[in-house]
Amino acid sequence: MEVEAPAGCCCRREVAAPRSVDIPTLARRGVACLGGAVGTGVGTARVLHRGELWATAVPTDPVLGVVCAQLTGTLTSPTSLAGFVVGHAGLYQALAMFAVAYFIIGMTVLSVCAIATNGALDAGGAYYMISRALGPEFGGSIGIMFFLANVCGSALYVLGLVEAVVDSFGIPPAGTGVHVLPQSYWYELLYGTVLLALCLLVCLVGASIYAKATFLIFLIVAGVLGTILVSFFATRPIGVPIRLPHFNGSEIENGSFTGFSLATLRDNLGGGYAVDYTTGQMMSFSSVFAVMFNGCTGIMAGSNMSGDLKHPSYSIPRGTISAVLFTYLVYNLLAFLMCATCNRTLLQKDYGFLRDISIFPPLVTVGIYAATLSAAMSNLIGASRILYALARDDLFGRALALAKKTSASGNPVMAVILSWLVVQLVLFSGKLNTIAGVVTTFFLLVYATVNLACLALEWASAPNFRPTFRYFTWHTCLLGIAGCCVMMFLISPVSASASLGFLLLLLLALHYLSPSSTWGYISQALIFHQVRKYLLMLDVRKDHVKFWRPQMLLMVQNPRGSARLIDFVNDLKKSGLYVLGHVELQDLDTLPSDPLQPQQDSWLSLVDKLNVKAFVSLTLAPSVRHGVRQLLFTSGLGGMRPNTLVLGFYDDEAPQDGLARHPAFTSAREEVPLGFPPLRAPATPKLLSPREYVGIVADALKMLRNVLLARQLESLDKAWELRRPRPWCPSSPPSSLGGGGEPRCLGSLCEAGDGGEQLGAGPNGCGV
């Protein structure tokens, strides 16, 4: 007797021979067929006004709309995976698996709800959350991976539906039976192409018809679940013959639906791991847990509608949490009902037994087909919206320019067509096992990054992060990250490693090639928070001479004449504070705006070009002396304040343009953006008188600051000094500061002629 496979089930009752795969074929096929293993893509863009999409679909409230989208993708997974899990793991271990899996998922849901309730949330779902929180590098790289995950997910569901249809209506290899659909690689590719074309047609028409179809499918799926629950009570005990594949033919075993029985329940309480009949692999706790977790990752379906809801900060938390709690209860309820009514043979040897015990089997088949087709459409339309969002943000320049084009109603038709083309290419693989592991790890990586985004916002303590959803902490974010990462490697170590490597490559490419954005950088907020915390811990009352270090304030009139001096003091500071000070002689009362604001960028660019570790402090004052006094009083913060003032030597020599000769500026074109004025001509009077210069030194000494006077550093060739042989320099103090003799080394105690040791004061020296 030939036992027919249940219509719509992707797991054949009769397979050619066991084969070895990384993840049980059951999980991947069940996941693909039921449409609940992998989360859907980014929500549709605002092709209608906010709130119109679901209003045109059904007269329901937005929270129910989120619940519908969530449950459509996840409700049918328990009907297939629960039997597999309890058949191998038993009731006790199955309940523990559900608790651990939903604990990990719950941590991610808390992060999603926190970000969703933090002010305005535009279209884009997880991509929008991550990109606006972590910056363009993370956002763009995760966006690409999210796009590929949705593309592969759409292909996965199409292949699963094709396999389900062929199982039910395909012509058997022996050529017997009443089935009508030919079976081969090219025929199955044709069936998949037709189904994908149907999905494309719906997506091209727009999000409105898609929303209506989703609600209709939700009603069908809910009916399937209700029928299954009623069947456990209404169906009488029956025997279910099962044909099992073997290398030497096939063998028939009998599974039993016993109805509610304490003996059956006791037999199914403990674990009973056996060989998976679809793969020939021995099951274990970790492998069964990985399979079960595949069916629980569709948690983004509700949040992905962020652009289509009137009040996403209200609807997403309530809808998502309600849907997750409901599916968790359904998993546990089905596990108990199966353990109390089905013997272990039926649970382990027939993953599609629910159709055989259903009071209305055709409804189960229709529900499976509808849910799978809905999941394929959801991933296709989600992939197109991600692609459109990436193109709109210009992270990849002209490469995605074509995807920006929309129809008159705002539907991104070119993004839909491009996404359909990529899905069609993936269909050529023809194998569920080829892409299922990659899809799941991509989605888990996205969920881990959502947790990372929430963690970064929480740790940064940014004033603009004030979510109304407060049931989360940084501990929940860390647990979500750790859980997603562990599950990635538990499900498929190879896919997880490849996904992380791909993410790293995208991060580096976007860091160096993408244009700058105006979204802000969370790294700056994190650094600010940590610096503030440690500055408060730096107590000036605990300073000790043993740990003294120079903290320099270098006064610069024009960087063109001080480029080498800036570089020299940078070497002199020895990991201490370094501040470049500049005084602008103007009166703010007579000016329409602050003249220092336009100069700030030029000074910061100079610091970057010269590669010095310095801060910039600019001030307005009626005189140079008043300005230096202001900087000595106000520069620095807390325990990091300048203790040494560095001034150029006051002489009558004409300034030299060291900026033009500096190695950092290979051409005059690079100096133009800096915008510094030309050097003072020799006949032009100085801004600083000798009396004022001496007064500055006196002020610094009164403030207990050290004073360094630097002379002719622009003639110092640092590269040559580092290359030439170093003379011996004594460690004893100089015997004369004004003796004769020509110095033989620069900027230090030198070996001199007849006058003994001295500080270099000649034309190539430095007087201090």
The model's pLDDT over 559-581, given as tens digits with 9 standing for 90+, comes to 888 888 998 899 888 788 999 99
Q: How far apart are CA 670 and CA 647, in angstroms?
A: 27
Q: How far apart are CA 417 and CA 167, in angstroms?
A: 30
Q: Provide the percentage of residues in the chain whose pLDDT is more than 90.
A: 17
Instruction: Look at the pTM and tell me if it is higher than 0.75.
Output: no
Is residue 282, in this structure, part of any structural domain at all? yes
Is residue 284, in this structure, part of any structural domain at all? yes
Q: How far apart are CA 382 and CA 38, in angstroms?
A: 13
| 71 shares a domain with 113 | yes
Helix/strand/coil percentages in the chain, nearest 5: 60, 10, 35
For residue 539, count other CB atoms closer than 10 A to its CB. 9
| 506 shares a domain with 441 | yes
**Looking at the DSSP assignment, which residues form a beta bridge with residue 240?**
255
Which of 486, 513, 540 terminates a domain? The answer is 513
The model's pLDDT over 417-431, given as tens digits with 9 standing for 90+, comes to 999 999 999 888 766
Is residue 765 scored above 70 in pLDDT? no
Q: How far apart are CA 256 and CA 344, in angstroms?
A: 9
Is residue 13, in this structure, part of any structural domain at all? no
> In 3D, which of 73, 55, 51 has the Cα closest to residue 123?
51
> In 3D, which of 527, 648, 632, 529 has the Cα closest to residue 579?
632
Which CATH number does the domain housing residue 625 bear?
3.40.50.620
Half-sphere exposure of 361 (CA within 13 A, CB side): 13
Of 476 and 2, the structure prediction assigns the larger pLDDT to 476
Q: CA quadruple 596, 600, 601, 606: dihedral positive or negative? A: positive
Q: How far apart are CA 517 and CA 222, in angstroms?
A: 45
Angle at 669 between CA 666 and CA 673, to 5 degrees: 115
Mean pLDDT, rounded, for 41-50: 34
Which of 513, 536, 570 terminates a domain? The answer is 513
Q: How far apart are CA 499 and CA 387, in angstroms?
A: 19
Is residue 756, in this structure, part of any structural domain at all? yes
> Is there a contact between 299 and 108 (Cβ–Cβ < 8 Å)?
yes
Q: How far apart are CA 656 and CA 715, in angstroms?
A: 9
> In 3D, which of 331, 298, 290, 334 has the Cα closest to residue 26?
290
φ, ψ for residue 647, nearest 5 deg: -125, 145
> In 3D, which of 625, 627, 646 has the Cα closest to residue 688?
625
Domain count, the chain: 3
Q: How far is CA 621 from the centre of its chain?
A: 47
Tokens of 708: 């360094």
- The secondary structure of 463-491 as a DSSP string is TT---S-----HHHHHHHHHHHHHHHHHH
Element housing 211 (H / E):
helix 207-234
| 703 shares a domain with 595 | yes
Amino acid identity of 166?
V
> Domain residues for 743?
725-768
| 632 shares a domain with 744 | no
Mean pLDDT, rounded, for 298-323: 71
| 668 shares a domain with 749 | no
Tokens of 254: 């009998």
| 391 shares a domain with 507 | yes
How buried is residue 592: exposed, middle or buried, by Cβ count under 10 Å (0-12/13-18/19+)?
exposed
Q: Provide the percentage of residues in the chain whose pLDDT is more than 70.
A: 76
| pLDDT recorded at residue 2 | 39
| 565 shares a domain with 681 | yes
| pLDDT recorded at residue 727 | 64
Is residue 765, in this structure, part of any structural domain at all? yes
| 186 shares a domain with 161 | yes
DSSP secondary structure letter of residue 715: G
Is residue 18, in this structure, part of any structural domain at all? no
| 273 shares a domain with 128 | yes
Which CATH number does the domain housing residue 315 bear?
1.20.1740.10
Q: How confident is the model at residue 482 (pLDDT cuts 50, 70, 90)?
A: very high
Of 61 and 528, the structure prediction assigns the larger pLDDT to 528
> Residues with Cβ < 8 Å from 348, sequence gap 6 or more?
87, 88, 272, 274, 277
Mean pLDDT, rounded, for 173-177: 48
Of 438 and 623, the structure prediction assigns the larger pLDDT to 623
Q: How far is CA 98 from the centre of its chain?
A: 26
| pLDDT recorded at residue 247 | 44
- Determine which of 19-33, 151-165, 586-600, 679-693 has the lowest per-residue pLDDT on average: 19-33
Is residue 531, in this structure, part of any structural domain at all? no
| pLDDT recorded at residue 701 | 95
| pLDDT recorded at residue 177 | 45
Angle at 320 between CA 319 and CA 321, to 5 degrees: 95
Is residue 71, in this structure, part of any structural domain at all? yes
Strand-by-strand arrangement of the 644-648 sheet = 615-621, 578-585, 552-555, 644-648, 706-710
| 331 shares a domain with 401 | yes
Ordered alpha helix ranges (H), 394-519: 413-427, 432-460, 474-491, 493-513
> Residues with Cβ < 8 Å from 199, sequence gap 6 or more?
154, 158, 373, 376, 377, 380, 420
Which of 457, 487, 513 terminates a domain? The answer is 513
Q: How far is CA 229 from the centre of its chain?
A: 40
Q: How confident is the model at residue 245 (pLDDT cuts 50, 70, 90)?
A: low
| 342 shares a domain with 297 | yes
The model's pLDDT over 599-652, given as tens digits with 9 standing for 90+, comes to 888 899 889 888 899 999 999 999 999 999 999 999 888 888 999 999 999 888
For residue 270, count other CB atoms closer than 10 A to its CB. 11
Is residue 755 scored above 80 in pLDDT? no
> Residues with Cβ < 8 Å from 217, sequence gap 6 or more?
72, 370, 371, 373, 374
Strands 578-585 and 552-555: parallel
**Residue that the structure tokens 């630097």 belong to:** 710
The residue count for the chain = 768
Mean pLDDT, rounded, for 471-476: 90
Across the chain, mean pLDDT equals: 77
Q: How far apart are CA 596 and CA 582, in angstroms?
A: 10
> In 3D, which of 599, 639, 615 has the Cα closest to residue 554?
615
Q: How confident is the model at residue 759 (pLDDT cuts 50, 70, 90)?
A: very low
Is residue 162 scored above 70 in pLDDT? yes
| pLDDT recorded at residue 647 | 94
| 738 shares a domain with 701 | no
